[in-house]
Amino acid sequence: MLKKTEKQVDLGLRQFIKDLGYISGGAALLSTIPWLQSFTPDTLNEIKNEKARIAVIGTGSRGQYHIHALLPMQHAEIVALCDIYPPNLEEASKLCPTARKYTDYRKLLESPDIDGVVIATPLNWHALIVLDALSAGKHAFCEKSMALTMDQCKAIYDAYQKTNKVLYFCMQRMFDEKYIKGMQMIHSGLIGDVVGLRCHWFRNHDWRRPVPSANLERQINWRLYRDSSAGLMTELATHQLEVCNWATKRIPQSVVGMGDIVNWKDGREVYDSVSLTYRYSSGVKITYESLISNKFNGMEDQVLGNKGTMNLATGMYYLEGVDNTGNSGIEQLLSQIGNKVFAAIPAAGSSWRPETKKEYKPHYIIEGDYNINDGLSMIGAVKDGSDEILSAFCQACITGEKGKDIVEEAYCATLLCLLGNQAMDEQRRIDFPDEYKIPYMNF
């Protein structure tokens, strides 16, 4: 993996946030991304002589991804590592040989020279370690999703309300410049009223990892079993459902869906194919689909407005009407017939207009070069916001400033994922339960 300098890690996004404060309407734009308001070059400069002392709990592929991001950060130092699987711990130790090694995270939490912990464990460990870390007086950064059950999510949320410690969850799209700028365009009315949302994430991979001995199957392939994983919803959909809530500034009231094991009939317990519909009180719906036996469609996060469509994952948007060909429907039809576009002539009225994506002129959310996550990697993607949100956490470990709305966004997205699984399991519509509603939610 390529090493990054501090400037490459996050100064571009930091400068963008700072510049927003200088433009007309900048305050209004910043209000839509409150978690970034202190994420500026000035703040980084203020703490340039300080380092957050960080421990990494869970040193598998994602944990090592975070280690690579932490190493070049001038305001972070990795002082401890923890894992119950020796090969992963040894690999991580090679990356930061001065860090102390632990096999019991509780012993690690007893150390007074640790400011914050980065948790990259299987999902079933998230709640226990987060709660223990906060109780031990440590700041915590945890991989998505928040927890394996709704009760665990609520316990974390309640504990966070009572602590002065910082808590982050890796909802990296909240720190991805494409999404930030795209959301500003959506909220400014560029694509009109949001009338629908369509998200999908397709891969062609069995999710399995090599197992050196049979007794390690559930430990290594934890994503496949229900006592340690909630499957595609918490591994993938959590990011995309958070984006939908961000775009609409609302939470869906209900969900229906179907889930099946279609292709990978290898003893796994979680679905390899899911299809769900979430409904907001306005009638606007999220259609969500994911499967891991076909990658043709990749990953997209589409926000559909009555004046245009924003595809945040690809960094592009399309406007209705103004960018399409100005010819009448019949002129377009005759032209395409003349050009032998159609093998057969469709029967339609005079208002006929081809409704295909190629008729739309693409516009770019960000000018110049930018990265697109194709969704195929199981570890992480370059410049998807992961490094930036981790940098923000390390900054917060020094300043003590909580990331506004990050816990709440993670809570809402995770609850929706778990409710989606419940709807699929029980094959019925599930309404959002009152006992898990929090003041942050707007239905």
Question: Is position 131 within any domain?
Answer: yes
Q: How far apart are the C-alpha atoms of 239 and 232, rounded to whole Å?
A: 11
Evaluate whether residue 307 is within a structural domain.
Answer: no
In a domain, 269, yes or no: no
> Is 280 in contact with 253 (CB distance < 8 Å)?
yes
**pLDDT band with cut points at 50, 70 and 90 for residue 191:** very high
Angstrom distance (rounded) from CA 81 to CA 96: 9
Is residue 209 one of the residues assigned to a domain?
Answer: no
- The CATH number of the domain holding residue 151 is 3.40.50.720
- Residue 223 forms part of a structural domain: no
Q: Is residue 69 part of a domain?
A: yes
Selection from 137, 200, 208, 211 nearest residue 400 by Cα: 137
Rounded to whole angstroms, the Cα distance separating 53 from 269 reads 39
- How many percent of the chain have pLDDT more than 90? 75
| Count of structural domains within the chain | 1
| pLDDT above 90 for 352 | no
* Whether residue 7 has pLDDT greater than 70: no
pLDDT of 2 > 50? The answer is: no
Is the residue at 96 inside a domain?
yes
Which residue reads 């002082």 in tokens? Answer: 79
Element (H, E) at 38: none
C-alpha closest to that of 223 among 239, 211, 241, 240: 211
Order across the sheet with 285-291: list the strands.
363-364, 316-319, 308-311, 299-305, 194-202, 285-291, 273-279, 254-260, 430-431
Q: How many residues does the structure list for the chain?
A: 443
Element (H, E) at 11: none
pTM of the model: 0.89
What is the sign, positive or negative, of the torsion defined by CA atoms of 140, 89, 272, 287? positive
pLDDT of 341 reads 45
Q: What is the DSSP letter of 10?
A: I
**Residue 370: per-residue pLDDT:** 75
Instruction: Please write the tens of the pLDDT for every residue from 353-372.
Output: 444 455 789 999 988 777 77
Over 70: is that where the pLDDT of 326 sits?
no
| d(C-alpha 317, C-alpha 362), whole Å | 6
Distances (CA, A) of 2 to 72, 252, 295: 11, 40, 26
pLDDT tens digits, residue range 237-265?
999 999 999 999 999 999 999 999 999 99
Q: Does residue 282 belong to any structural domain of this protein?
A: no
pLDDT grade for 22, boundaries at 50, 70 and 90: low
Tell me how far apart the alpha carbons of residues 369 and 10 are, in angstroms, rounded to a whole number.
Answer: 16
The predicted structure's pLDDT at residue 329: 46
- pLDDT for 45 beyond 50: yes
| Range list of β-strands (E), 242-337 | 254-260, 273-279, 285-291, 299-305, 308-311, 316-319
Q: What pLDDT, on the 0 to 100 scale, is given for residue 321?
A: 79
Range(s) of the domain holding residue 22: 6-174+383-409
Mean pLDDT of the chain: 89
pLDDT of residue 23: 58
